[in-house]
Chain A
Amino acid sequence: MRMKFLALAAVALLAACETAPKDANTGAATGTQSSIRPGSQEDLAVNVGDRVFFGLDRIDLSPEARATLDRQATWLQTYGSVTVTIEGHADERGTREYNLALGERRANSVKNYLAAKGISPNRVKVVSYGKEKPAVVGSTEAAWSQNRRGVTVVD
């Protein structure tokens, strides 16, 4: 029997490091494009586009999403040592378990497209957050359409 004991203290420390400096960074980075480190998450988000959006209850990629992923594939070829995790998300208008499965399908749509563009599946992990982590808070179609998404996150 394999046991896993949660090292909560360590997780707590990590979380504190992640959240605390965020505000300070935003201020420092404002307007200084050159401060973006090539191959970083910020580089991907600002210069390439780190996310694609899905239609209601859909997992297929729109032409716009495919264009974004084409740029991501090129970028990933440039930075060949970078590995990423695709986070799949759903909007809040679904049940919890179904949305977890739907987010996983969406993340795999992204992974499969990148694979077809020559990015090794070994460099791409997927994780689904279902409706648990909306990017935009709100109960409007505008918010929901931003939340049905696949986000490429540099590991």
Chain B
Amino acid sequence: MTTKTRLLLKFAGLTGALFLSLGVAAPQEARAELRIDITRGVVEPLPIAITSFAGSGGRDAQLGADISKVISADLERSGLFRPLDPRGFLQTPDQLRSGDPRYQDWKALGAQALVAGNTTTGGDGRMKVDFRLWDVAAGQYMHGLSYTASPQEWRRIAHIVADAIYKRLTGEDGYFDTRVVYVAESGPANVRKKQLAIMDQDSENHQFLTDGQTLVLTPRFSPTTQEITYMSYFNKKPRVYLFNIDTGRQEVLGDFPGMTFAPRFSPDGNRVVMSMARNGNTDIYTLDLRTRRQTQLTDSPGIDTGPSYSPDGQKIVFESDRGGTQQLYIMGADGSGVKRLSFGEGRYGTPVWSPRGDLIAFTRQRGSSFAIGVIRPDGTGERILSEGYHVEGPTWAPNGRVIMFFKDLPSGDGRGRNAKLYSIDITGANERRVSTPLDASDPAWSPLIP
């Protein structure tokens, strides 16, 4: 079976498991008065009342309450919303189930938006979750959707509802129904145990994908979400591998005579671009996953690495020390027309093209500090988002609004490491620690789950 058919089958399986019916609870959709402008630097979080999605039965009541908590937490973490304390709510979920809300009551609480929902389990054991969103100040209904899924999928449903609310109020796609793959770290710095791990973007449903016996680095999500490309030292031979999340199967990618590393998928998922180092020289290659054909894209005598495709697949940004120090360059996807992108003081590495195409995130090293920054593909608008002793490895949320990266700090006794994941808005606001059971590095954000 070819790669493509396999992926298509998986896609079908997923959508089948999660049936989405649009607009079921949408009587008349009013023109939006309420809109968060997320393009400005610092946004005052929007006060939003999210009532319990509790259904009437005992189990539905618990599920519904849990779903509202996950929605609240997602929206709060984005930094764009301030969910209000439910203890102050004057209308019960029951009262909100039919008709218009008492807007005055919600206005008095300071709410600008109101969310209500309901959870019911049908005779077939499937769970139905619906929600409605109102603009409190304008006294208008804004949006409503209904979802049917297995009760085990309740977290995903909550993330999907949070994405719908985010999109309706910001005009941008959400990023809550996503996962993060990363490298979990433990043990002393000189014999560090590193294993692949995966979790939902809110740190839930955490699982280890490898057991730590083999050193693994730089996992990257496929645009199809069910496969990861990463680097492994299996048999002390550092090579780029493909990891199937569903089956756990691992497969070496390509037949290269030297070390392969720094892999990333093309936007269509059909190719992996990576570096190969041989005889002291590192160049960039692609591997076509269907034909297994290898193509060399660069041939400078320097170190060319960290390739990342533009979302249209036409260009590749990468880092190279061909000019003397590590800097960012852009070339055509066939290796043609190389142009230098970064000209700032210091060294620039780990470029990652935003899924929106408008920015490229990077790691900058200047003097004794590292920084995560963004720059436009035309070389203008360079900004630093986070700076520290050691910050590295940005990855984009699929909507291109949030970046995750890691900070690696010497531990208090100076003998170990203390690496943790962080997320930050591209405005530089709302930097937050992303919780992981062990130390963590090399995060990679998935696309929205299909």
Neighbouring A residues of B148 by C-beta, 8 Å: none
Size of the B side of the interface (Cβ < 8 Å), in residues, is 57
The answer on a CB contact under 8 Å between B236 and A101 is: no
Neighbouring A residues of B194 by C-beta, 8 Å: 132
Chain B min CB distance to A16 (Å): 10
The answer on a CB contact under 8 Å between B261 and A100 is: yes
Neighbouring A residues of B190 by C-beta, 8 Å: 133-137
The answer on a CB contact under 8 Å between A8 and B319 is: no
Neighbouring B residues of A152 by C-beta, 8 Å: none
In this assembly, does A11 line the interface, its C-beta being within 8 Å of a C-beta of chain B? Answer: yes
Look across to chain B and name the residue whose beta carbon is closest to the beta carbon of A15.
B213
Chain A min CB distance to B307 (Å): 10
In this assembly, does B211 line the interface, its C-beta being within 8 Å of a C-beta of chain A? Answer: yes
Neighbouring B residues of A96 by C-beta, 8 Å: 217-218, 350, 392-393, 442
Contact stretch, chosen from B49-57, B248-256, B429-437: B248-256
Chain B min CB distance to A33 (Å): 26
Interface residues of A in 94-128 (CB under 8 A from B): 94-98, 100-102, 104-105, 108-109, 112, 127-128
The answer on a CB contact under 8 Å between A128 and B217 is: no
In this assembly, does B326 line the interface, its C-beta being within 8 Å of a C-beta of chain A? Answer: yes
A137 to B24, CA, bound (A): 60
In this assembly, does A3 line the interface, its C-beta being within 8 Å of a C-beta of chain B? Answer: yes
In this assembly, does B363 line the interface, its C-beta being within 8 Å of a C-beta of chain A? Answer: yes
Neighbouring B residues of A95 by C-beta, 8 Å: 306, 319, 326, 349-350, 363, 365, 392-393
Give the residue of A5, A97, A112, A128 whose beta carbon is less than 8 angstroms from that of B218. Answer: A97
In this assembly, does B292 line the interface, its C-beta being within 8 Å of a C-beta of chain A? Answer: yes
Q: Choose among B188, B234, B292 the residue with the greatest number of A CB atoms under 10 Å from its CB.
A: B234
The answer on a CB contact under 8 Å between A4 and B252 is: yes
A103 to B389, CA, bound (A): 22
Neighbouring B residues of A85 by C-beta, 8 Å: 236
Chain A min CB distance to B196 (Å): 12
Whether A98 touches B305, Cβ cut-off 8 Å, given contacts A6-B250, A138-B415, is: yes
Contact with A along B291-308 (1 / 0, CB 8 A): 010000000000101100
Chain B min CB distance to A11 (Å): 5
The answer on a CB contact under 8 Å between A108 and B261 is: no
The answer on a CB contact under 8 Å between A1 and B250 is: no
The answer on a CB contact under 8 Å between A101 and B249 is: no
Place the interface of chain A in its size category: 35 or more
The answer on a CB contact under 8 Å between A6 and B214 is: yes
A97 to B390, CA, bound (A): 15
In this assembly, does B238 line the interface, its C-beta being within 8 Å of a C-beta of chain A? Answer: yes
Neighbouring B residues of A1 by C-beta, 8 Å: 251, 292
The answer on a CB contact under 8 Å between A138 and B442 is: no
The answer on a CB contact under 8 Å between B259 and A128 is: yes
Whether A127 touches B236, Cβ cut-off 8 Å, given contacts A6-B250, A104-B277, is: yes
Neighbouring A residues of B245 by C-beta, 8 Å: none
Q: Choose among A5, A8, A97, A136 the residue with the greatest number of B CB atoms under 10 Å from its CB.
A: A97
Contact with B along A134-155 (1 / 0, CB 8 A): 1111110000000000000000
Contact with A along B219-250 (1 / 0, CB 8 A): 00000000000001010111001000000011
In this assembly, does A2 line the interface, its C-beta being within 8 Å of a C-beta of chain B? Answer: yes
Neighbouring A residues of B347 by C-beta, 8 Å: 94
Give the residue of A6, A137, A138, A139 whose beta carbon is less than 8 angstroms from that of B234. Answer: A6
Interface residues of B in 173-189 (CB under 8 A from A): 188-189
In this assembly, does B388 line the interface, its C-beta being within 8 Å of a C-beta of chain A? Answer: no
Chain B min CB distance to A106 (Å): 8
In this assembly, does A92 line the interface, its C-beta being within 8 Å of a C-beta of chain B? Answer: yes
Contact with B along A54-94 (1 / 0, CB 8 A): 00000100000000000000000000000001000000111
In this assembly, does B280 line the interface, its C-beta being within 8 Å of a C-beta of chain A? Answer: yes
Whether A139 touches B414, Cβ cut-off 8 Å, given contacts A95-B392, A102-B303, A104-B259, is: yes
Whether A132 touches B280, Cβ cut-off 8 Å, given contacts A98-B349, A137-B416, A139-B414, is: no
Whether A100 touches B213, Cβ cut-off 8 Å, given contacts A4-B250, A137-B415, is: no
A interface with B by C-beta (< 8 Å): 1-6, 8, 11-12, 15, 59, 85, 92-98, 100-102, 104-105, 108-109, 112, 127-129, 132-139
6 other contacts beyond A1-B292, A100-B217, A112-B280, with CB at 8 A cut-off? A95-B363, A101-B261, A127-B237, A129-B215, A132-B215, A137-B416
